[in-house]
Amino acid sequence: MSISRYYLLGWGDAVRQPKMAFLLWVLNALSGLVVYFGACGLMRRAFGHSLLGSELSERFAFRGVMELLQRHGRDVAALAGTVLILTAATYLLSLFLSGGVLHVLKTARNPKSGEKESRVAALFFEGAGRYFGRFLRLEIVALPMWIVFGILLFVFSGIAGNASDGWEKERLGFALVLALVGAAVLFVFLGMMIVDYARIQLVATDGRRVFKVFLGTLKFAARRFFKLLGLAVFFLITMGIVLALGEAVARLLGGKGAVVTALGFGVQQVLVLALLGARIAFLGAQARLSERERVSALDLPPAAQDAGGEQKERPDKAQSPFDGDAQ
């Protein structure tokens, strides 16, 4: 199956789970509101009654940044701390949430008798609770992978430094720095993708052998590298479009009337919802790709595969937990 078809089917899965997307948006927006009130408070303390505040609301004025740093450095640090804590919390929460998302997707495509769509919240939290411990262990198991990526970047950086004569070939050095940043982004994305597929496999098999699943996922990722990457590119393009729309809307916010601001804020939230939907769609597409191609790539004995490694038949079809309308 082509990756575009996986992606479209993933979107189908996401569209069928609006309640789950809404639930995720609520959690996202609650954290956002904490930041909103924190930032508003900081701005009021710094510029509340000053004409400089009015000027800043209309255009960028470096003086405003200067005053903020000089006079309200502690408040800025406190807000930055809050943002960091919320970001860390979001990361930890993601371990919890991803179990719920995958469990809902799995159940939706393989419903047990009596389970209805109205039980999404219950299913979500059931899955979240069930897989949280395993996902946490998966993060620990995946640490060496991140360390290897770090070492690779360090080595690349050394090579780039030598190639550019200690960064003195400035144009080449600059290009290599950009390449290093690109490599770092690729590693981060690759790592996240591998962890995604490992989570999918843990949920699909309801297995508990995290280390084995992780190793299997590494092999799978290596064999289907370009296909996985291709699917990710679809996701990134979607994200890029939504983020660009979000930025365009953000520029409409503030400095205008309250009605326009409220409207802009509403559109902004719809876009955040779209982002979350895109993420669910990506997970759904990954789950389908994993389900369909992982067995053929890894688990079947050689006799069951053709010369090109393609699957001849799917003996596990009946047991496929993500089985649904993908065939």
Binding to other proteins, residues 51-90 (CB under 8 A)? 51-54, 56-57, 59-60, 62-64, 66-67, 69-71, 83, 86-87, 90
Q: Which of residues 147-176 bind other proteins (CB under 8 A)?
A: 165-171, 173-174
Distance CA 260, CA 265 (A): 8
Residue of 36, 125, 35 whose CA lies nearest to 85 = 35
Burial 40-68 (b: 16+ CB within 10 A, else e): eebbeebbeeeeeeeebeeeeeeebeebb
Looking at beta carbons only, is 49 or 116 nearer to other proteins? 49
Report how many residues bind other proteins under the rule CB under 8 A. Answer: 74
Q: Are 82 and 35 in contact (CB under 8 A)?
A: yes
Residue of 152, 151, 145, 110 whose CA lies nearest to 127 = 110
Q: Which of residues 101-120 bind other proteins (CB under 8 A)?
A: 101
Q: Tell me the per-residue interface mask from 120 to 149 with other proteins, x by CB under 8 A, - otherwise.
A: ------------------------------
Shortest distance, position 307 Cβ to other proteins, whole Å: 38
Q: Does 305 bind other proteins (CB under 8 A)?
A: no
Residue of 205, 172, 36 whose CA lies nearest to 106 = 205
Q: Which of residues 224-243 bind other proteins (CB under 8 A)?
A: 239, 243
Place of tokens 């679809």: 234
The stretch near other proteins (CB under 8 A) out of 11-19, 200-208, 268-276, 285-293 is 268-276
Q: Which amino acid is at 296?
A: S
User: Cβ–Cβ contacts within 10 Å for residue 164, how many?
Assistant: 18
Q: Which of residues 243-262 bind other proteins (CB under 8 A)?
A: 243, 246, 249-250, 253-255, 261
DSSP single-letter state for residue 119: G
Looking at beta carbons only, is 85 or 151 nearer to other proteins? 85
Q: Which of residues 18-47 bind other proteins (CB under 8 A)?
A: 24, 28-29, 31-33, 35-37, 39-44, 46-47
